[in-house]
Every structure is written in structure tokens, then in C-alpha cells.
A and B are shown apart, each in its own frame.
Chain A
Amino acid sequence: MSRALAIEIDRAEGALLRLLGTIERRGFALIGLQTDAADNGGLSVRLLLDGERDPQVLCRQLQRLIDVREVRLLPDAVEETPETFQATWLQG
């Protein structure tokens, strides 16, 4: 089942690698990825993930990474696809 996450991280060496590595190692496949500059030297990352494990647990696993500022699990009322993911991203 796919879930969308909105994450803000510090723009530090390895921050994005660590984030993506944790996601894959914890059993989720990455099917969509968008990044953009955020305020205060941060990086805004929007992800679409596929996985059978509890996404709430993944959020806590990401939250404990030192470079991660905020993790939001986006509502799953509508099942996201790569197309809708792309569309909502472009709408900001």
C-alpha cells in the first residue's frame, strides 16, 4: 500500500542518503521523490512509498534521525499514485 510523506531535513552532508537508506532498509520501496529548498538552509522532501509495514513506525524511525526536522504522514483518504503525487506536488 502506498503512502505519502512530507519531510523537512537539514541540508547537511549525507542527510538525504541517510533518510532514503533508512526508508529502504526498514522495508519500504520508494516510488516517488521530489525535493526543493526549504527555509533556514533546509531541504523539503516529498516521498511516495510502498510497503506493508506500519508507516507510523517508519515516521518515528525517521524522526529520530538527527538531520530530520519534521516528518508528516499525509492523509491516506485517497490512494496516491505516481501521477496524483506529481500533480499535488506541482500544485504546491
Chain B
Amino acid sequence: MDGSKEQSTKVRTGAQWLLQALEAEGCDLMFGYPGGAIMPVYDALVDSPIRHILVRHEQGAALAADGYARASGKVGVCLATSGPGATNLLTGIANAYLDSIPMVAITGQVQTLVMGTDAFQEVDVFGMSLPVVKHSYVVRRAEDVYATVREAFAIARSGRPGPVLIDLPKDVAVASAPARAPHYRTCAPTADEPEALMRARALLAQAQRPLLYVGGGVGMADAEWALRSLMRSTGLPAVYTLKGLGAVDPDAPFNLGMLGMHGNPAANHAVQECDLLIVAGARFDDRATGKLATFAPNAKVLHLDIDAAEIGKLRRADVGLGGKLAEQLPALAQPLHITAWQQHCRAMKTQHAERYDAPGDGVFAPALLRQLSEAGGGRLIVASDVGQHQMWVAQHWRVNRSAAHLSSGGLGTMGFGLPAAIGAQLAKPDARVICVSGDGSIMMNIQELATLKRYGIPVKIVLLDNSSLGMVRQWQELFFAERYSEVDLSDNPDFAELARAFGIPAFTVERRDQVADAIARLLGDEGPLLCHVKIDPRANVWPLVPPGKSNAEMMGCAA
């Protein structure tokens, strides 16, 4: 069914219309977990060509759909039943909302007749999810199911992407009806005024020390090429956020690295010194800006974001453009006379280059990550969990495309890594997907090892084990007078044995001289694999901007 012919006289059940609409949207894979209220959909699924991946917890379904969307650029789809199934999806939906990931989440609901009566496994997931969805529906008539799913996909992927929830009562899934035609309502960006573009160009022409601040929006807008082209033709220096990692060419001479709390000092100093900040698909997140009032204190701001609501939200923009980055960035190109600034940036970059010469014979996680990413080259996708290892990945993993670095940036969801890696691997079967996790994070969705085993998904897990909740421990050490509270995980299970119990091959690395062999195995083995790496529990992430402080006040780096 296409275009104006979409209104159909054919009669199907709501569940069948749901799957028809998914097919029409090009969905060939979804992640879910069955249960009472969603059973009509699982029944219809038996006759559908769409592949369903059975996860072992609904949060895994939502996060796998998220990883699938990040790696493929397509809309991720997850499915759960009512009540606890639906509430278990919520963390994954919120994760997608804060990182602007296109997702359609489908939940079963109790029959419309008993909705609002506290029926078995009834929760108002529509109400619970309101603040963390781009849009949502309760479908109350079978004839609306097809159109609603089509509209949901259009909303999820248009403009600034985001998750859309569809709550489907059981009786609506069972009822038969013809389908009404979709009525598309999206929030497409308006074209930029030529006059505003001219003012943006003029700001850049006048700047002595211009700097690009690159966010996740660049990769999501397919504007990486435009960004790199602009950087090549103008020599503009750039810094990037956690989600912007990979958008900037890692070999670009004026790529100054990540800014923010665990950013490169060269990046943070450049922001403090610049006189024009060109913000491309970024949103002045507090982990990037530190104390906002002191962020880029001498800079005018040119803010480019497809979501006009981001412009002026946290920092006033001298010029704000709400259009498309792939068109705006090339329009800025012009000869610049910033040689002195470029030289200064390059000197800072050299001064603050990462070092891997840590003493001792224990495993130095930053070096392992650097070596693994360099040895793996362009085939690698890394899905990181949340904590110290996530920051080490951001600082040291060599990434050449933003879709090759999956990280829970906005929500900071421990447990993201493994399901996201599963989604990415299924989206990109030819890629070698590495999940970098920690001993805290891995236990948040450890059950998904069963999903790896069931489908033979060849995700490689690098588990950096410091026997503690390292990031919290680091903050307690630095900001809570070493009063350690509930961060000791020294009674962890034997992770290699645990993986083997799930049927996943595993091995343990404890010394630096074992790293080369481990990397060879991670890049050579065909199936799923867990590499358990024991590291020093006292290792901290440096540098660090203390919470509430200016990015100029970094701890743990040369001045």
C-alpha cells in the first residue's frame, strides 16, 4: 500500500495491520519479549517475514533497538507486553529520547473495556512515558493501527529523531477492520532565511579565533562529509562531544579532541579562548560545558541545530539557524585568516597528546583500548557501557565515523553496552562489534549473554574489571573525602566462568604482556567472546573538570 492508495478495503486484524505497517516501513528486525496482552501480535508474527530477536529482559529489547538504530541510521523497533513489560522498556525509551535516537516502541495493553480499572498487568505506560517520548499513541480502533504505525515511523525519523510509543490494547489487536490512510504530521525544519545565512558567514569572516563545537547531530544528519570538507577548506579547529566522536576526521590537523568533564585539555582551553563558537548539532550539555556561566566566555555563538528549540535554551546565540547541517556547513566555507590561532591550537594539541607510558606490568586500560581500536581499523563498531571505561573509550578509542561509536550520552544508562552491541551487530553483520563494559555495568543486563548464545551473535565483550563502581569510587575519593560508600564489588562472580555458563567462550587477562594475544583473539575469533580484563581498582579517569567548575579548571593534567 503506497501513497493515496493506502486506504484499504482489505480486512485484517489489528495485529496483522501492525506487522503490515512495519513491513511497509522496511522493518526487517525487531527486539521483544512476549506476554499476555501482546500475544495477538506474537501470534500474527508466526506468519510475518519480520525477524524477531527474543531478548531476556525488555530493557534489553529497547536498548538493542537503540543500538540497531545508531549503527544503521534506521528506526529501531521493540515490542513488549503490558504492565511490567512496558515499564521495563521505559529506561531504553528514555535513553533514546535523550540521545535523539529514532525508535518505535510497541506495548501491549489490557483490553479497552478494562483500561482504567487497575486490571491485571495494567499500567498507564502512555502517561508514564509522556516526558521521554517524541510522541505517543493509544490505538483504540483496529482501523487506526496501520496508519498509526506509519505515522509513528515518520515522526521518529523526521527532524530531530526520537522514540515514539504505540500502546495497543489486546482487543484492538484482535479486532478485524479495513485500514484508514495515514495522516502524516511531522515537524520538518523550516528552510533558513538567506539573510540569516549571510549573518552567519559574516560572523565567521570577522572571527580571529573561530572554533567548531561538534555534537551528535552532525552524524545523525549525514553531515560528516560536509563537516570534514569545511574543516579541510577553511582549516577551522574543532572540538567534539561524546556523541560527536567520530564525526571529525581523527587525523585532521586541527582536531583538538573531546571537550568537557573528561575532555582533552587542548579542547577545553580552545573553547575558553575562542572568539566564535560554531555549535553544530550540539546542545550545551552540562557534561560538555562545565560551569555554563564561564563556558567560552569571550565567544560569540553561531548555533546550528535542526531542532530550533535548542537554540537559546542554555546559551544565547548571536545567530541561530534551525535548518539542515548538510546544507548549512558548506554554506559557511570561505577563506579564513587564522594562521596564528591554528598554530596555537596545534601547539596545545601537541602539548596535551595522550600518553600511554604508564608504569608497572598491570593492564593499562587506555593503552589496551587504543591498541585494539587501531588494530581493528575501519571494520570496528564499539558499544560502550557507562562509567570510567566509557570515558576511556571516548578518550582513547580511534573512531572514524560517528555511527561506529555507540554510547549512552544523555541518560548515562549502565547496562546499555551489551544490548546496544547486539543491535549494532544485527544491523551491520559484516562489522566487528566490540562491547566495552565494566564489572558494574555488565551485571545490569548480563542476561543478554543468553541472546548472544541463542543467535550466535559474534559480539566481542571487553570487560574492564576493577572490582568496583569505578566512577562513583573516583568521585568519592576526590569529592567526598575518600568516604567510600557502596562501591566495592570485590565479590564479583568469576566473569569468565559466568560467560561459559551461558555458552560463551571466555578468557581472562591480568598482565600487560597478555594484551597483544588478547587483541589478536578479539579480532580473530568468529563467534561471541568475552575477554575479562582485570585492572587496578585505583585507576582514575584523567583529566577531570570537578563538578560545578569551569572547564578551565581541569584536574590531572599539565597546565
Q: How far is the CB of B156 from chain A (nearest CB, A)?
A: 11
A87 within 8 Å of B by Cβ?
A: no
One of B85-93, B127-135, B171-179, B483-491 at the interface:
B127-135
A65 to B138, CA, bound (A): 16
B542 within 8 Å of A by Cβ?
A: no
Seen from chain B, the residues whose Cβ lies within 8 Å of a Cβ on chain A are 126-127, 130-131, 134-138, 140, 155, 159-160, 185-187, 307-309, 311-313
Within 8 A of B (CB), among A1-58: 13-14, 17-18, 21, 25, 54, 56-57
A64 to B312, Cβ gap below 8 A?
A: no
Q: Which residue of B lies closest to A25 (CB)?
A: B131
A64 to B309, Cβ gap below 8 A?
A: yes
A65 to B308, CA, bound (A): 12
Seen from chain A, the residues whose Cβ lies within 8 Å of a Cβ on chain B are 13-14, 17-18, 21, 25, 54, 56-57, 60-61, 63-67
A13 to B137, Cβ gap below 8 A?
A: yes
A18-B130, A25-B131, A64-B307 given; A57·B138 CB < 8 A: no
With a cutoff of 8 Å between Cβ atoms, the chain B residues found around residue A67 in the complex are 135
With a cutoff of 8 Å between Cβ atoms, the chain A residues found around residue B187 in the complex are 63-64, 66
Q: Which residue of B lies closest to A66 (CB)?
A: B135
A61 to B309, Cβ gap below 8 A?
A: yes
Q: Which residue of A lies closest to B139 (CB)?
A: A13
Q: Which residue of A lies closest to B186 (CB)?
A: A66
Q: How far is the CB of A86 from chain B (nearest CB, A)?
A: 28
> Which residue from B126, B130, B185, B313 sits with its C-beta under 8 Å from A66?
B185
With a cutoff of 8 Å between Cβ atoms, the chain B residues found around residue A25 in the complex are 131
A18 to B127, CA, bound (A): 9
Q: How far is the CB of A59 from chain B (nearest CB, A)?
A: 9
Q: Which residue of B lies closest to A53 (CB)?
A: B313
With a cutoff of 8 Å between Cβ atoms, the chain B residues found around residue A56 in the complex are 312
| 25 chain-A/chain-B pairs, Cβ below 8 angstroms | A13-B126, A13-B137, A13-B138, A14-B127, A14-B136, A14-B138, A17-B130, A21-B131, A25-B131, A54-B312, A57-B313, A60-B308, A61-B309, A63-B308, A63-B309, A64-B159, A64-B160, A64-B187, A64-B307, A64-B308, A64-B309, A65-B135, A66-B135, A66-B186, A67-B135
A60 to B124, CA, bound (A): 28
A66 to B155, Cβ gap below 8 A?
A: yes
Q: How far is the CB of A77 from chain B (nearest CB, A)?
A: 22
A67 to B185, CA, bound (A): 8
A34 to B287, CA, bound (A): 39
Q: Which residue of A lies closest to B140 (CB)?
A: A13
With a cutoff of 8 Å between Cβ atoms, the chain B residues found around residue A64 in the complex are 159-160, 187, 307-309
Closest 3 CB pairs of A and B: A60-B309, A66-B135, A61-B309
A66 to B309, Cβ gap below 8 A?
A: no
A43 to B146, CA, bound (A): 26
A64 to B187, CA, bound (A): 6
A17 to B307, Cβ gap below 8 A?
A: no
With a cutoff of 8 Å between Cβ atoms, the chain B residues found around residue A54 in the complex are 312
With a cutoff of 8 Å between Cβ atoms, the chain B residues found around residue A21 in the complex are 130-131
Q: How far is the CB of A28 from chain B (nearest CB, A)?
A: 14
Q: How far is the CB of A26 from chain B (nearest CB, A)?
A: 9
A14 to B187, CA, bound (A): 18
A66 to B135, CA, bound (A): 7
A65 to B134, CA, bound (A): 7
A25 to B309, CA, bound (A): 14
For the A-B complex with A14-B127, A14-B130, A54-B312 known, give 19 more contacts whose Cβ atoms are closer than 8 Å.
Answer: A13-B126, A17-B127, A18-B130, A21-B131, A56-B312, A57-B312, A57-B313, A60-B308, A60-B311, A61-B309, A63-B187, A63-B309, A64-B159, A64-B308, A65-B135, A66-B155, A66-B185, A66-B187, A67-B135
Q: How far is the CB of B281 from chain A (nearest CB, A)?
A: 16
With a cutoff of 8 Å between Cβ atoms, the chain A residues found around residue B127 in the complex are 14, 17
